[in-house]
């Protein structure tokens, strides 16, 4: 039941209406939203909802167990039980085939005669997201950052809340659970803001991302035969396809939650206007970036290491595991490793903090952002490639001359989306364009909404496609 489907529209309207009808009964409202969330997840995963319930139950018990004792060894055992359960389920369902095939390939390379047939394991949609979200709760309770939640249904609702369940944002318990206890409110500002986010997210997905997907699929699907122009178009198109697709999902999720009276954290902040790789990760997939920082990088020692080598080691471990989080393939690990190396180089050269140096130099700032965008776009190659061979084929295609790509209306539109998207991102990072847009006369805003709705109707005639991050 993806957000861009008629089934979700019907589902959400019913849940929205029912949720606000029972506002005077807080417990009933949360139970209703919890059951709706379970229905939403089961519609995508069927029986695999059992895994979600297992993680919920283990972490709920672990939180209470940690809070009810001062014995550090007992507290540690509860934490270990939570981590082993969550990471064990994630590891088996997402990485069992990857690790097994890697081990068998290594044995074969050493001359050991072995055969391997992949297990038929279904990847539960959203398992990477809700696993990290649920784990952060027990870790925070263990470190005293929050008190344990004593109500099972409230905790279960936090883990399973449907707008962000499948593809984030990854929500911290200490930022969300207190909202469950508070009386829900739907102010005119929240209503308008939520509807705007949903509208913007659907525009990003249905019109922008899905238009670019045509040229991305063509480039990577024919990497061995296409010309250089087609290869570069495909690579740049993917850079914006994944941004519009994922940020579009996040916008719809945040907007849907806001209409129900809950606030979720932002997940993107104009990432291609970044002036460094360090700044890019402060703008891209923020909920994951901060999760990796707080629950992996800092526990490893972070930047407070006696030697620079220790800091670089921590950065590389964090980014390599961040790459692996995205997918069970060596190409994802390579993608994380490339970003890890660049983060280390930036730290060594002191390039990580450049915003103040370019604050009053708009042209230089745009030039620096353009350079970083090209570097980041190139690193998307292993992320999108279907294996090593596909990655190598497209890499060499980038250096070919000539092109068989005809100049069509669709291609012109895609180029306008890429160029216009980057220019808008950079300008709006320096000038508050959104603030000016909100001041436009009501008829102008109404006309813009009408054009957007008409465009969505036209573009959705191609058929709805799934969101990219559903695969992670």
Asked if 147 and 110 count as a contact pair (C-beta separation under 8 A), the reply is no
Rounded to whole angstroms, the Cα distance separating 471 from 127 reads 10
Max Cα separation, the chain? 73
Neighbours of 187 (CB within 10 A): 10
Q: Is 326 a catalytic site residue?
A: yes
DSSP per residue, 151-168:
-HHHHHHHHH-HHHHTT-
Rounded to whole angstroms, the Cα distance separating 266 from 250 reads 8
Helices within 260-408 (DSSP H only): 277-280, 286-292, 298-300, 308-326, 330-349, 362-384, 388-397
The dihedral over CA atoms of 120, 124, 129, 130, expressed in degrees to the nearest 10, equals -120
Q: Which of 218, 285, 326, 339 is catalytic?
A: 326
Backbone angles phi and psi of 282, in degrees to 5 = -95, 5
Residues ≥6 apart with Cβ < 8 Å to 333: 320, 323, 324
Burial class (CB in 10 A: 0-12, 13-18, 19+), 119: exposed
Produce one character per residue of 160-179: b if its CB has 16 or more CB atoms within 10 Å, e if not: bbbbbbbbbbbbbbeebbee
Q: What is the DSSP letter of 170?
A: -
Residues ≥6 apart with Cβ < 8 Å to 116: 100, 101, 104
Q: Looking at the annotation, which residues are catalytic?
A: 326
């Amino acid at each position: 039941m993806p957000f861009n489907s008629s089934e979700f529209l019907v589902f959400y309207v019913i849940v929205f209406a029912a949720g606000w009808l029972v506002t005077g009964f807080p417990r009933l409202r949360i139970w209703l939203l919890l059951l709706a969330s379970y229905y939403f997840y089961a519609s995508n995963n069927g029986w695999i909802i059992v895994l979600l319930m297992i993680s919920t139950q283990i972490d709920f018990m672990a939180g209470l167990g940690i809070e009810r004792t001062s014995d550090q060894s007992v507290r540690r055992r509860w934490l270990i039980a939570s981590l082993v359960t969550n990471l064990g389920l994630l590891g088996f369902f997402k990485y069992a085939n990857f690790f097994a095939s890697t081990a068998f390939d290594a044995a074969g390379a050493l001359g050991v005669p072995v055969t391997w047939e992949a297990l038929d394991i279904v990847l539960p949609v959203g398992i990477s997201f809700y696993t990290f979200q649920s784990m952060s709760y027990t870790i925070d309770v263990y470190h005293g950052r929050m008190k344990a939640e004593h109500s099972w249904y409230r905790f279960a609702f936090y883990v399973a809340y449907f707008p962000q369940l499948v593809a984030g944002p990854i929500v911290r318990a200490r930022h969300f659970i207190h909202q469950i206890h508070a009386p829900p409110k739907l102010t005119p500002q929240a209503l308008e803001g939520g509807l705007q986010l949903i509208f913007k997210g659907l525009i990003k997905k249905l019109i922008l991302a899905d238009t670019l997907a045509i040229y991305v699929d063509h480039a990577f699907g024919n990497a061995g035969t296409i010309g250089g122009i087609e290869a570069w178009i495909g690579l740049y198109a993917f850079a914006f396809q994944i941004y519009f697709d994922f940020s579009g999902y996040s916008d719809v999720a945040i907007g849907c939650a806001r209409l129900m009276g809950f606030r979720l954290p932002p997940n993107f902040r104009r990432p291609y206007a970044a002036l460094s790789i360090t700044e890019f990760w402060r703008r891209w997939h923020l909920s994951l970036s901060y999760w990796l920082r707080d629950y992996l990088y800092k526990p490893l020692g972070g930047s407070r290491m006696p030697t620079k080598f220790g800091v670089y080691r921590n950065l590389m471990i964090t980014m390599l595991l961040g790459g692996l989080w995205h997918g069970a393939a060596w190409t994802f690990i390579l993608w994380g490793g490339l970003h890890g190396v660049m983060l280390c180089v930036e730290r060594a050269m002191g390039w990580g903090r450049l915003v103040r140096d370019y604050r009053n130099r708009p042209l230089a700032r745009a030039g620096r952002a353009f350079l970083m965008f090209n570097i980041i776009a190139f690193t998307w190659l292993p992320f999108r490639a279907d294996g090593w061979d596909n990655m190598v084929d497209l890499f060499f295609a980038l250096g070919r001359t000539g092109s068989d790509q005809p100049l069509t209306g669709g291609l012109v539109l895609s180029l306008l989306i890429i160029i216009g998207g980057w220019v808008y991102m950079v300008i709006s990072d320096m000038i508050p364009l959104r603030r000016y847009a909100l001041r436009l006369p009501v008829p102008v805003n109404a006309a813009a909404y009408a054009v957007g709705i008409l465009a969505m109707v036209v573009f959705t005639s191609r058929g709805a496609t799934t969101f990219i991050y559903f695969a992670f």
